[in-house]
């Protein structure tokens, strides 16, 4: 029952009660009808309130739906914007290959039109002139894209070209189509450039739609300059809509396909980086682990055999570190190990490799230095560790370290493991001679 109909019924009951009131009063029914009418009026107010509540609920649901759509659109726009740099670099590469193919085709077209004297002069001149302009244009695009494709970072020129050149490509098809109307009614050039636009260039669907809409407006008026038959003009305008729609469909599919590929590639690279981090780096100290060190020293040893230079291996161990764990707890001990790793890593060269060998033992590979230079480096690091107050739980603690230094030589008689064992022996010699010292391998 509608609200209007309900009000009419209430008015009818009120009018009937007024007319029959004298009779009802005599029979003692006035009390019953008064209550009935009052209940009806109250129920009418309840109905109006219920309708208002339902309307409010619908409005809230509608607003919630609009907010959800808005948030989804913003999220999608941001996600698609995250691949703009990648798509720009792809577009520059594709411009290079497109211009490399299109320029020779323009030369061939010009040759064919100049070689055939039977074609109408006005049409021939228009086509030859347009292809000459396109030849110059594609030659310029080839030179510019050849220079830009060597750059790894996206710049403003790349961003502008990826929108301007596709639009000019569409305009070229429109011009050739308009000239073709002098001798034919087909719109093949415009159809081809619409397909090329969608298949070659990676442009976000919103911008793709805008470019295609503007190009269709130009096409709409351009073909009217050379078509005199109204029926042909209407037919070609309708066919132009089909060409633009086809170009947009291909463009949207190409964009989403490449967007998916780029995001999946990034995800795979991120997973590979995580696996590499897990395989080659110590999760506690975030420096390389023993596996990574063994791999690095083998590469270094091969390079040393080839180029004939020497390097140094430094192994050091924190003195009496068990007391830190027993006194402050293992969590405090782990925190001290992190601080030691950070201290050593920030005081060696970029070419040096610092790794955690296990427990409280660390190793350093220092390429292209002598044994004396390696000893000086170890002594410097020993003093840094001894002079620093390390945070252990709620207090600070001083620790020391013992170092063993060995020369790593390009020898065919011994492998890298031999020189690691020499550094390890020098470390134990430092421990036996009182700790907190540096010893060279003999």
pTM value is 0.61
Put the strands of the sheet holding 401-408 in their side by side order.
353-358, 361-366, 311-318, 401-408, 438-440
CB atoms within 10 A of CB 54: 10
In angstroms, the CA 15 to CA 256 distance is 69
Contact assessment for residue 398 and residue 343, using Cβ atoms and an 8 Å cutoff: no
φ/ψ of residue 155, rounded to 5: -120, 180
Q: Provide the CATH topology of domain 290-440.
A: Alpha-Beta Plaits (3.30.70)
From 301, 319, 321, 302, select the one nearest 311 (Cα to Cα).
301
Structure-token pair, residue 327? 């006194």
- CA-CA distance, 196 to 24, in Å (whole number)? 89
Using CA atoms, how far apart are residues 362 and 354, in angstroms rounded to an integer? Answer: 7
Q: How many residues does the chain have?
A: 442
Strands 353-358 vs 361-366: parallel, antiparallel or unpaired? antiparallel
| Measured CA distances, 155 to 147, 158, 163, 224 (Å) | 12, 6, 14, 40
Contact 198, 209 (CB under 8 A): no
- Say whether 285 sits in a helix, a strand or coil: coil
pLDDT averaged over consecutive 10-residue blocks of the chain (442 residues)? 53 55 50 50 53 68 76 72 86 92 90 80 86 91 91 89 93 92 90 94 92 95 92 94 95 92 88 82 91 90 88 95 89 93 94 92 95 95 94 88 92 81 94 94 82
């Amino acid at each position: 029952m509608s609200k209007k109909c309900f009000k009419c019924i209430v008015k009818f009951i009120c009018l009937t009660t007024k007319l029959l009131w004298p009779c009802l009063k005599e029979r003692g029914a006035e009390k019953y009808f008064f209550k009935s009418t009052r209940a009806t009026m109250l129920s009418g107010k309840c109905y109006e309130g219920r309708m208002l509540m339902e309307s409010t609920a619908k409005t809230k649901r509608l607003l919630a739906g609009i907010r959800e759509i808005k948030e989804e659109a913003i999220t999608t726009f941001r996600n698609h914007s995250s691949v703009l740099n990648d798509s720009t670099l792809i577009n520059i590469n594709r411009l290079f290959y497109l211009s490399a193919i299109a320029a020779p085709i323009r030369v061939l077209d010009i040759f064919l039109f100049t070689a055939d004297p039977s074609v109408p002069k006005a049409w021939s001149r228009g086509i030859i002139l347009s292809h000459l302009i396109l030849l110059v244009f594609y030659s310029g695009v080839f030179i510019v894209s050849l220079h830009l494709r060597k750059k790894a970072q996206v710049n403003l020129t790349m961003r502008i070209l990826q929108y301007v050149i596709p639009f000019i490509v569409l305009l070229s098809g429109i011009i050739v189509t308009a000239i073709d109307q002098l001798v034919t009614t087909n719109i093949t050039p415009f159809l081809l450039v619409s397909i090329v636009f969608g298949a070659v260039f990676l442009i976000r669907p919103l911008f793709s739609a805008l470019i295609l809409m503007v190009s269709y407006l130009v096409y709409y008026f351009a073909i009217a300059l050379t078509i005199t038959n109204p029926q042909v003009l209407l037919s070609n305008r309708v066919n132009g809509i089909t060409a633009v729609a086809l170009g947009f469909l291909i463009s949207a599919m190409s964009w989403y396909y490449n967007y998916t590929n780029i995001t999946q590639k990034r995800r795979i690279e991120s997973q590979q980086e995580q696996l590499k981090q897990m395989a080659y780096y110590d999760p506690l100290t975030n420096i390389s682990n023993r596996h990574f060190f063994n791999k690095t020293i083998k590469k270094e040893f091969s390079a040393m055999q080839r180029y004939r230079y020497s390097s140094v291996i430094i192994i050091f161990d924190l003195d009496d570190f068990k007391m830190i764990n027993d006194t402050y707890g293992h969590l405090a001990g782990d925190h001290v190990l992190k601080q030691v790793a950070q201290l050593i890593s920030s005081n060696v060269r970029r070419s040096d490799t610092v790794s955690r060998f296990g427990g409280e033992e660390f190793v350093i590979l220092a390429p292209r230095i002598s044994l004396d230079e390696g000893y000086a480096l170890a002594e410097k690091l020993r003093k840094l560790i001894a002079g620093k107050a390390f945070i252990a739980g709620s207090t600070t603690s001083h620790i020391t370290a013992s170092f063993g230094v060995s020369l790593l030589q390009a020898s065919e008689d011994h492998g890298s493991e031999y020189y690691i064992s020499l550094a390890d022996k020098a470390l134990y010699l430092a421990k036996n001679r009182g700790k907190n010292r540096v010893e060279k391998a003999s």
